[in-house]
Structures are given as C-alpha cells and as structure tokens.
Structure 1
Amino acid sequence: MPVTYVLVHGAWHSGQCWARVVPLLGASGRRVVTPTLTGYGETRHLMGPETGLRTHTADVVRLLVDLDLRDVVLVGHSYAGMVISAVANEVPERIARLVYLDAMVPEHGESAFDAMPAARGMVGDDWRLPPPPPPFGLFGVTDPVDVAWLNTMLSDHSVRCLAEAVAMDNPALDAIPRTHVHCTIRPEGLEARPVPAVQPNGEPADVRELNAGHDCMITVPGELADVLLAVGDLAESRSPVGAGG
C-alpha cells in the first residue's frame, strides 16, 4: 500500500516551507500533507503563552484521524522531532516510519530543552520567542531570494513548546522504524544528538546525511526528496503497518 507523507515543520516556520518538496514527492503518486501547526503561518494570531507541545501534538493527531491517514511516513523537522514522537506515541497504528529531519530526538519525559540544551540560552523573560537573529536565524539559507521567501513564513514561537515534556511510554511506539537525516552544515554548538547504533525495534540505526544547512527543504529540495522517496520505498517494502488498525 502506498505510504502517505506527512511533513511537519519546525519552530518559527509554517507548512509553506515544504512547497518545493511537495511536487517532487507527489510525482511518485503518493499523497503529501503539510499541516501548519497552531500559532504559525496563517494561524499565527492563535499563538499564545498556552500554546505548547501538547497543542501541536493534538494538531497532528487530529489531522491523521480526521483524514483517516494510515501507512504514514511522519517527518518532523527540527522542533517537530518532539511533535512526531508524541504523535506516534498516541496513534502508533497509523505510522509506518518516523523521520527525524535534522530534528530533536527526545526520550520519554524529556522536553525540547533536554533534547537540545542550547535552546535554553535563547529564552528570555517573555513567553514569546521571536525567530533568532543571523546567522542561526537564517537556518543555513544564504541565497537572497530564498532568504526573502523564508522571511515571509517566519513568526514567533511559544516557550511552552520547549518546556513541555514528551510522552513516549506506549510500548507500540518502539516497533515503529526510524530514519535520522542530519544536515552537515550547522552552527557551532548545535551538534546533533548521537543516534544509538540500534533502534528501539532492534534494527540497525538508519542515519542519512545531506550536505546542507538546517532548512534543507528550502536549499536542497531535490536531494531531500530523494532521501524521503527512498525512505518511502523502504516503508512500503515492509509488511503493512497499521492496516486495519
């Protein structure tokens, strides 16, 4: 059964950031869904101090249930590594594979602050966290046209998103295979958390690299699509996940 790609954007961004990748994945005949989480993009007016990881988890779970999506390759970029982990904990029967795209990779009970301690230094006294200044704030994007486009989609992030702990205590979560995609061009001090050699399901780790900065979906959409298409092929080669569940 063909997989469905659900691409979840990270902090400050919106679902628009995947615009260059969607047609490349869609050309394979697979469905691609790119939700905008509450408080970003067209919903930025809904961002408030109560907006947190639970809010965004509920967004994606509701999407999967309302559209009855199954055999999902669930991709989380950056902060959304927290989101996809929590989503898979709630509806593991709908997920064929988790893809952590240059993302936070938490353990049960951790917050984003735990998964990426450098985030603590970005927080001030306000509940609202604006996009960081350059060079990190450009997320590896350097082309002036790309920078201008990126700036149209950036908005504030709630600190609560970084402070809420993720639940990953559903035993069925461990059975879902994972892929980790690391962007190799990154600011000093933001190294990726090491990936264990063995996945929770007992399979060898699946780690791939892109020669790109953090926002690879903007700068190298073709290369990213190639990786995600290969991951989709891998998911479809396995026995169906979630069929009839």
Structure 2
Amino acid sequence: MPASNTYVLVHGAWHDGQAWDRVAALLTVQGHRVLAPSLTGHGDKAHLLGPEVGLVTHVNDVVGLILDLDLNDVVLVGHSYAGLVISGVANRIPDRVSHLVYVDAMVPTHGENAIDVMPLTQGMIDGAAADAQPWRIPPLPEFPAPLGLFGVTDPDDLVWLKAMLTDESVLCFQQPVEMDNPAQALIPRTHILCVGSQPTGVTRRPVPRTQPNGEPSRIHELQSGHDCMIIKPAELSELLLRTD
C-alpha cells in the first residue's frame, strides 16, 4: 500500500464518529487521511433518527461519502455493528476499497442481518417491543467493573461516552446485508478481536480460517474491552497501520 493511506472509520451502534477521535489523531499525525463520519441518527445527524433508518441507510451514508470525496484505495474500518455496514459498502463500490478491517465486529455472509450474526440482538428488540416507540433500541447498560460500558471503565471516558450514545433504529438490526458482488470477495480482510473482558452470554462467531479471496485469515487479538478505540487507541492504531 502507498505510504499515505486513506482510512474511513465507521462507528458501531449507538455511538457516533467522535468515538474514533483518538485513533484518528494518531493516524493523522502519521501522515494519513482519516475520515470518521457519524451515521444517520447519530452525532450531528442524531435528529434524523427514525423508524425508517436502517442498515441500508448507513451503507448509503458511507458510499455517499466515498463517492462525494472521490476516495480510492480506502482502508475501510468497521467497529461492532459496522462490520455489516462496511460489508455492504464493499459490495456496492469494491473498486474503491483496498482493505476491510473488522474491529471486534459483526462479520456477515450474504443475506444475513445483525440478529443472524449475534442472536442476542433479538433480545434487545423484544425488550423494546412494549415501549411507546418500539423501533428505538436504547444502548446497552453499564455493568460493574471490569466490564463497564462497552468495556469503558475510566470515569472521564465514561462521561464522554455516555454523552455520545443515542438510540438505534431496530431496522438497523433487521435489514440483511448484500454481499453478492463477486468483486467484494477479492478485497483483503483483517480481523481485530478484543479479548479479556467479554460479558457473560456474549459469544463471537469464529473467524473463518480462510478469507473469501482464498488467503489465510488475518487475525489480531487486542487485550481490551469492546470500545478499543477509546480504551486502547495507540494499540489499535498500530494494528491499523499494519494493514497491507
């Protein structure tokens, strides 16, 4: 890959683009171009949240950003739920993406949704069904240390994270991802797995031994809670710089 890369960092459910601030700063100082947009319904687009917002909306957000800025050779990084988003983006514009990085992320196959990849998601949907707005899925609760809130336990970080979190639309978890473009299967993939503090009942689908392009899977483990971009930004940035 060229000395200067273009990274598009996509946040997971409930978060916004600010979650990547620390990683973005570290990559930028190394001379790379970094974009970390907030998806529809989050951050500066929080007012757009509605029952019609879904996975397709978020795929469109990222595709639109890449096309509007005429970005090429993009290292496309997705955290958690955004594993679905970056998969859908790669299916739409595979010629613009040089590498896919799944950061403690959902890794789907064609036609799967978040519930397929992580069945406990259905429990969150069921829990919201009796609410006045059953399409709104609130963020996960904070747990006692060492689990914290998405793995975050530092008091100052918790204040920052809680101010960032907003509800997610149920359609984000229900819409299937399209991965039927043969060209997307050729894109190299890296998987970064957060290990050491996984909540009880949360199971991760094993990463296949072989990538869709036939190469051995690239897997790195990071000792961190789920929100590693907040907890271990330097270590995560170093792993992102190793994508080639």
1:1-245 counterparts in 2 under 5 A? 1=2, 2-123=4-125, 124-125=128-129, 126-135=134-143, 138-184=149-195, 185-231=197-243, 234=244
The percentage of counterpart residues that share the same residue type is 59
Structure 2: gaps of 5 or more residues: none
Q: 2:166 corresponds to which letter in structure 1? A: S
Measured on the aligned residues, the alpha-carbon RMSD in Å equals 1.0
Q: 1:23 corresponds to which letter in structure 2? A: A
Match of 1:239 in 2: none
Structure 1: gaps of 5 or more residues: 235-245
Q: Distance in 2 between matches of 1:98 and 1:190?
A: 24
Q: CA deviation at 1:138?
A: 0.6
Q: Distance in 1 between matches of 2:86 and 2:93?
A: 10
TM-score normalized by the length of structure 1: 0.93
Q: CA deviation at 1:107?
A: 0.5
Q: 2:66 corresponds to which letter in structure 1? A: L
Q: CA deviation at 1:23?
A: 1.3
SS state at 1:138 partner: coil
Q: CA deviation at 1:191?
A: 2.2
Q: Distance in 2 between matches of 1:171 and 1:151?
A: 40
1:173-232 C-alpha deviation (Å, 9 max, x unpaired): 11000000000021122222101111110100000011000000111111111111111x
Q: Distance in 2 between matches of 1:192 and 1:11?
A: 16
Q: Distance in 1 between matches of 2:238 and 2:148?
A: 26
Q: CA deviation at 1:137?
A: 7.1
Q: Distance in 2 between matches of 1:207 and 1:230?
A: 12
Between stretches 59-68 and 184-193, larger displacement belongs to: 184-193
Count of residues in Structure 1 that have an aligned counterpart in Structure 2: 232
SS state at 2:44 partner: helix
Between stretches 63-72 and 116-125, larger displacement belongs to: 116-125
Q: Distance in 2 between matches of 1:3 and 1:110?
A: 30
1:44-90 C-alpha deviation (Å, 9 max, x unpaired): 11000000000000000000000011111100000000000000000
Q: Distance in 2 between matches of 1:168 and 1:88?
A: 8
1:119-145 C-alpha deviation (Å, 9 max, x unpaired): 111112100001121227710000100
SS state at 2:153 partner: coil
Between stretches 112-121 and 127-136, larger displacement belongs to: 127-136
Q: 1:172 corresponds to which letter in structure 2? A: A
